[in-house]
Amino acid sequence: MKQILIVGGGYAGFYTAWKLEKHLRAGEAEVTIVDPLPYMQYLPFLPEVAAGSIEPRHAVVSRRRHLKSTREISGKVVGINHATKTATIELVADGSQQEFAYDEIVITTGSVSRTFPIPGIADNAIGMKTIEEAAAVRDRLVGNFERAASLPKGSALRDRLLTVTVVGGGFAGIETISELRDFATRLLSRYPEIDFAETKFHLIEAMGRIMPEVSAELAEWVVKDQTRRGVNIHLDTQLQDATDGNIKLSTGEEYESDLIVWTAGVMPRPFLRGTDLPIGPRGHVIGSPTLQVTTEEGVVVPGAWTAGDTSQTPDISSTPGPGGFCVPNAQHAVRQGKLLAKNIVASLRGEGLTEYNHKNAGAVAGLGLNTGVFQSGNFKLKGYFAWLAHRFYHGLAIPTWERKLRVFNGWIGHFFLNRDGVGIEANKTPRASFEEFAARPKPPVSE
């Protein structure tokens, strides 16, 4: 059988494998996914996970549960030699490496947070790119409220604990700051020791506007709405230093913040530059509208495919993205993964390939409970109905009915019981209590 290797089990990788299982005939090919995590993460839900609106486990999809015939390898690909059609896999279990021979390779490694060498960011900030980060942000926010409530008002540490900074004014940053601000506002009813004015939320954006995916009018409405809700939005402002949580802005403003969330951009995984695959100027694998890997001159690389955030795929739609390429978002990754599976099967059978030409479904964002924005073409919504559109769209977009039901059931439960405001920071050190009280052998008595 042909060996199909899928590198990365996120949106594009999961959907490629899921649809390959549907389209492949018995014995036609064996599909293998390599990923260090056993689940696909639904990234649009991360801000709601951080705000306690969605249980972290409900925002991920178990591949082993839903991929019936795909082989799973718990590891990460650290090298690709397409000339010999071999990939080097580093196993999670023991760090050992093994070579994997393939006939067709699918590069769907997704993206990681792109940061700049700003002092203090690497040591103090946290991203909003994984489910683990979103859950940690929620736990930290609730834990900071708990600690601050015990400190005297006006103390420097109390002010620091109650100050949150989000860097980046794209969709991820706006949704994150909005959800956290709304979550904190609702937490105040459980912490009578803390006043609203003590909780400070800052969004730092280097450009002169937020959310470039929507119209300037809608973006300005979001700025006014969030400012009214207690978010300080700093436009045309750069973060210059975050050493030890001391925030220094290009405007000269300084303040201390215990929770710093970085959402200012993503990039492909750096290891791809060390492979013999054609790589674009920003580290993406060069792709074609048929999702085949190509050289810069457009020559197809046989047996290599790419999709999702890691790919430089031409956007041939009527509304192309910046630079003429598909932007890195879930909408493209899901659709490309589905088409990629069809094209791989067509290629194996000597049939014609289909080009990826999408119709933009619009942009939608949740801005805390009961408010959001939606835009599709010239049609715009804001407020409650846009928030409903956000929830229904993403609630239905997460793959598998099992996960859809878990998400909707959680939202229904929160409607009657309110959001879950419990933070479990202690899960970072689960053995601490056991170690503190565990009996140990007495030291030997010296003669």
pLDDT (0 to 100) of residue 190: 94
Quote the mean pLDDT of the chain. 93
CA 333 – CA 287 distance, rounded (Å): 13
Selection from 112, 32, 135 nearest residue 75 by Cα: 32
CATH superfamily to which 2-113+266-349 belongs: FAD/NAD(P)-binding domain (3.50.50.60)
What pLDDT score does 99 carry?
Answer: 96
Q: What is the pLDDT of residues 284-305, one digit of tens each?
A: 999 999 999 999 999 999 999 9
Does the pLDDT value for residue 218 go beyond 90? Answer: yes
CA angle, corner 52, sides to 48 and 56, nearest 5?
A: 75
Distance CA 46, CA 273 (A): 29
Number of helical (H) and strand (E) elements in the chain, helices listed first: 12, 25
Share of the chain above pLDDT 70, in %: 100
Q: Same CATH topology for 2-113+266-349 and 115-264?
A: yes
Per-residue pLDDT, averaged over 362-387, amounts to 91
> CA-CA distances (angstroms) from residue 444 to 11, 130, 218, 438?
57, 48, 73, 18
Phi, psi of 16 (to 5 degrees): -60, -50
- Of residues 32 and 445, the one with the higher pLDDT is 32
**Is the pLDDT at 97 greater than 80, yes or no?**
yes
Q: What is the pLDDT of residues 307-332, one digit of tens each?
A: 999 999 998 887 777 778 888 888 89
Question: 311, 316, 321: which is closest to 286 by C-alpha?
Answer: 311
Residue 328, pLDDT score: 86
User: If pLDDT is split at 50, 70 and 90, which confidence band does 230 have?
Assistant: very high
- Domain residue spans of the chain: 2-113+266-349, 115-264, 362-418
Position 55 scores a pLDDT of 93
Give the CATH number of domain 115-264.
3.50.50.100
Alpha-carbon distance of 373 to 367, in angstroms, equals 8
Q: Give the model's pLDDT for residue 447.
A: 67
pLDDT average, residue stretch 218-236: 96
Strand order in the sheet with 292-294: 97-101, 86-91, 71-81, 29-35, 2-7, 104-107, 300-306, 292-294
Q: What is the DSSP string of 81-150?
A: ETTTTEEEEEETTT--EEEEE-SEEEE---EEE-----TTHHHHEEESSSHHHHHHHHHHHHHHHHHHHT
Q: The pTM is what?
A: 0.92
Residue 389: name the closest of 400, 397, 377, 401 by CA. Answer: 397
Alpha-carbon distance of 263 to 100, in angstroms, equals 35
Which run of H or E residues covers position 330?
A: helix 330-348
Q: Could you tell me the pLDDT band of residue 1, with boundaries at 50, 70 and 90?
A: confident
